[in-house]
Amino acid sequence: MPRSPKTTVTVRMYNVGFGDSFLVTVTRGKITWRMLVDCGVFPAGQTRPISQSAQMIVEDLAALAPAGSPPHLDVVVATHHHVDHISGFADPAWTRVQVDDVWVPYVEDRDDPDGKILRGELTVAAHNLRGLIATARMRLSAADDGARAKLAVAEVFAVNSEGADPATDRLLGRNDTTFLNKPVPRYVPDRDPAENVIPTTVPGVTAHILGPSRDPNDVKRMKPPKSVAWLKAAADERPADADTRPLFDGVFAVPLSRADPYIPASLRETLASLDLESVSNAEELLAAAAILENSVNNTSVYFVLDVRGTRLVFVGDSQYGAWEHVLNDPEALKLVTDPAFYKIGHHGSHNATPQRYAKEVLGHDHYAMMPFGAVPQWPSIPEGKLLTALEAAGTHVIRADTAEPGPQITVDPQRRWSEVSFTVA
């Protein structure tokens, strides 16, 4: 009887800093399948400039390609349009890479009615917020360092939420920017559930697309319920404000009547309480920016790679609304229960891994990778309680910044990446 070939799956986390870039390789006999999940970094927390990281990844792919063949990826996934996930795709090095399939959230699809509305809301809100922040900064007295620092953080959020256009061009194949073979992007999830189970070139290996939800109400549910939050977010601490003053009155050039349909309800409520004459405005703008940041995170592609029964869970930066969409669906819940591997959401922040997931669903003795580099403005990431809960469950957490070699774990001698490997029967 011929021996059936062994299957291995390896996840390599590039040490980009505060950002994601994961190379997943599945090998069975002579077949090799490769997927890259994200390529971006948040500049204030970078290990090296993202162009260097992108070129390093392309060089690695070139070294793996058979002689005379271009660097190749079966799939590129861009989970969501934050710069810390996609900015690296702006680098021209990608022009020489053949990519068979590109997965982006349906929010980026200019021809999708749901996507268009959502994308419009997020983009307009980000632009408007930057305008508000600029105005607030001009009104600050020179001595108000505290408020100035808060505005700087708010601006960072707002810029992040505006997306990275040259990178998006490459992913969508626009403006003469694309990969070697000009792939047409696949917007996920599809409206047809059957299309959301995507086969690979390896027999028995499939990807299940579980998010983002196509229900706009899900995506707009940005604030975590207090009972399951790791911490109370700053945005939750404000009393509900019934103030009905026009949103941008006297502050921003867009009249409320025109801006209103594009602004998510929770952002509108936050901004309605703005009082730009008072010093507290920096706090308010920061809260609004944080809500917008969460909203974009909830557009993340959330998927499970099933390697002949060994499951790997990739959640992008999905936060509460997005997680509940998965955890409340019995079939999806089964797929994310007791996986071999979990890509920790949103760099280990308090609101991106539900307590229920860490304590009850994830199971014991698994591997989790945390793409992380310190950002001075965000000392509360990663969240200590999350790491404690994962540790209590016996999860092997591999941090990009402090990875150590161990069973199944390899760390590049120059610390450019760390890897975890699984052998599948």
Q: Work out how close the CB of 397 gets to Zn ion at its nearest, in angstroms, rounded to a whole number.
A: 17
Check whether the bond before 2 is cis (ω within 30° of 0).
no
Going by C-alpha positions, the residue among 26, 75, 30, 36 that lies closest to residue 424 is: 26
Q: How many CB atoms lie within 10 A of CB 45?
A: 21
> How many other CB atoms are there within 10 angstroms of residue 223's CB atom?
18
Q: Which of 291, 20, 259 is nearest to 124 (CA)?
A: 259
The nearest distance, CB 20 to Zn ion, in angstroms, is: 6
Q: Which is nearer to Zn ion, 84 or 324 (CB)?
A: 84
User: Smallest gap, in angstroms, from Cβ of residue 315 to Zn ion?
Assistant: 11
Which among 54-62, 76-84, 124-132, 331-339 is the span making contact with Zn ion, rule CB under 5 A? 76-84
Determine the interface stretch with Zn ion among 78-86, 202-210, 231-239, 390-398 (rule: CB under 5 A). Answer: 78-86
Q: Is 38 in the site for Zn ion (CB under 5 A)?
A: no
Minimum CB separation from Zn ion for residue 345, in Å? 8
Site for Zn ion in 294-353 (CB under 5 A): 317
By beta-carbon proximity to Zn ion, the closer residue of 121 and 317 is: 317
C-alpha separations of 189 from 303, 305, 399, 418 in Å: 10, 15, 29, 30
- Stretch of 81-89, 129-137, 227-235, 353-361 contacting Zn ion, by CB under 5 A: 81-89
DSSP state string for 76-134: EE---S-HHHHGGGGSGGGGG-EEEEEEEEGGG-TT-HHHHHHHHHHHHHHHHHHHHHH
The stretch among 9-17, 83-91, 101-109, 303-311 that binds Zn ion (CB under 5 A) is: 83-91
Do 160 and 82 contact (CB within 8 A), yes or no?
yes
Size of the site for Zn ion (CB under 5 A): 2
From the CB of 85, what's the least distance to Zn ion, in Å? 5
Q: Does 84 bind Zn ion (CB under 5 A)?
A: yes
CB 220 within 8 A of CB 264: yes
Where does this chain touch Zn ion (CB under 5 A) — which range of 26-34, 80-88, 134-142, 354-362? 80-88
Please identify, using beta-carbon distances, which residue of 40 and 183 lies nearer to Zn ion: 40
C-alpha to C-alpha distance for 351 and 386, rounded to whole angstroms: 10
Q: How far is the CB of 346 from Zn ion (least distance, A)?
A: 6
293 binding Zn ion? (CB under 5 A): no
Task: Tally Cβ neighbours within 10 Å of residue 17.
Answer: 27
Q: Which is nearer to Zn ion, 264 or 348 (CB)?
A: 348
Nearer Cβ to Zn ion (79/200): 79
Work out how close the CB of 82 gets to Zn ion at its nearest, in angstroms, rounded to a whole number: 5
State the nearest-atom distance from the C-beta of 245 to Zn ion, in Å.
33
Complex with Zn ion: residue 247 or 322, whichever CB lies closer: 322
Q: In this complex, which beta carbon is closest to Zn ion, that of residue 317 or of residue 419?
A: 317
Phi then psi for residue 331, to 5 deg, are -70, -45
Minimum Å distance from CB 317 to Zn ion? 4
Whose Cβ is closer to Zn ion: residue 155's or residue 317's? 317
Report in angstroms how near the CB of residue 378 gets to Zn ion at its nearest.
Answer: 11
- Of 84 and 91, CB closest to Zn ion: 84
DSSP per-residue string spanning 346-407: GGG-TTSS-HHIIIIIS-SS-EEEE-----TT-TT-S-HHHHHHHHHTT-EEEETTT---BT
User: Between 147 and 315, whose beta carbon lies closer to Zn ion?
Assistant: 315
Task: Identify the bridge partners of residue 152 per DSSP, sorted by sequence position.
Answer: none
How many Å apart are CA 190 and CA 181, to the nearest integer?
A: 23
- Token readout for 7 is 């299957």
Closest CA to 238 of 192, 290, 179: 290
Task: Give the interface with Zn ion as residue ranges (CB under 5 A).
Answer: 84, 317
